Amino acid sequence: MNIIEEYEKYIAKIGDRKTLYRLVANRFDVKMALYPGSHIDIGASLVIPNVTYIDNYKGTIQFFKHLIEVRNYINMNKEYPEECTIEFFGLDYNENIKLDKVDMIISQFAGFVGQATKKHLKKGGILLCNDSHGDATLAYLDDDYEFIGVVESNNTIITDELEKYFKFANERQIDRNKVLTKMKGPRYKTQPSNYIFLLKKNI
């Protein structure tokens, strides 16, 4: 199997997130993004000209050894006029990696990305995350971030009536320590597929 077949097989399994990435990138004028814990989800590069991927899994490192083929595939299928810029680091995203600050960080099913990598986000930049591992909950409780929206499963961005999110059916406080130890997002009354946060200051 070549790497493009491998990518297409992966997308068939996880679902194509290109619509999600396009929607958020267009809304917030994202030109440069960072995707820690990406595995081989390179769909962001189809709609965002400059994306850096970080993942320390050996299968991912093997995939990105074919960076020329990845770039060729993206250049043939991308939706923006300029050449794509793609970088990959086969490292732990907690490490001190020297990177330019980006407009958006993508966090999907890969731990506490929004906490570990917010130093790479510009002031006013966007964290797009789900709450599978509790990353959205940690951002919600983090004063460095402002909760500004959600993306519903039909790929609509909602920015009003946000008070209803992060609330339990039986009213109680969020237990941050439990999220940190279990690495699982709590079960809230309303659960959108993704959350959007804005970084309020330079870290």
Ligand X SMILES: C[S@@+](CC[C@H](N)C(=O)[O-])C[C@H]1O[C@@H](n2cnc3c(N)ncnc32)[C@H](O)[C@@H]1O
Q: State the burial class of residue 99 (Cβ atoms within 10 Å of its Cβ: 0-12, 13-18, 19+).
A: middle
Is 115 a binder of ligand X (CB under 6 A)? no
Residue 90 amino acid letter: G
In the complex, least distance from residue 65 CB atom to ligand X, rounded to whole angstroms: 15
Binding segment for ligand X (CB under 6 A), chosen from 50-58, 142-150, 175-183, 190-198, is 50-58
> CA 51, CA 73: separation in Å to the nearest integer?
14
Q: Which of 38, 14, 44, 41 is nearest to 26 (CA)?
A: 44
Question: How many other CB atoms sit within 10 Å of the CB of residue 112?
Answer: 22
Is 57 a binder of ligand X (CB under 6 A)? yes
Task: Select 55 or 131, whichever has its Cβ closest to ligand X.
Answer: 55
Binder of ligand X out of 19, 56, 191, 193 (CB under 6 A):
56
Binding segment for ligand X (CB under 6 A), chosen from 33-41, 121-129, 138-146, 190-198, is 33-41
Is 203 a binder of ligand X (CB under 6 A)? no
Site string for ligand X, 69-108 (x = CB under 6 A): -----------------------xxx-------------x
Helical (H) or strand (E) element with 199: strand 194-199
Q: Give DSSP secondary structure letters for 40-78.
A: T-TTHHHH-SEEEEE---HHHHHHHTTHHHHHHHHHHH-
Is 183 a binder of ligand X (CB under 6 A)? no
Q: Which residues bind ligand X (CB under 6 A)?
A: 14, 37-39, 41, 54-57, 60, 92-94, 108-111
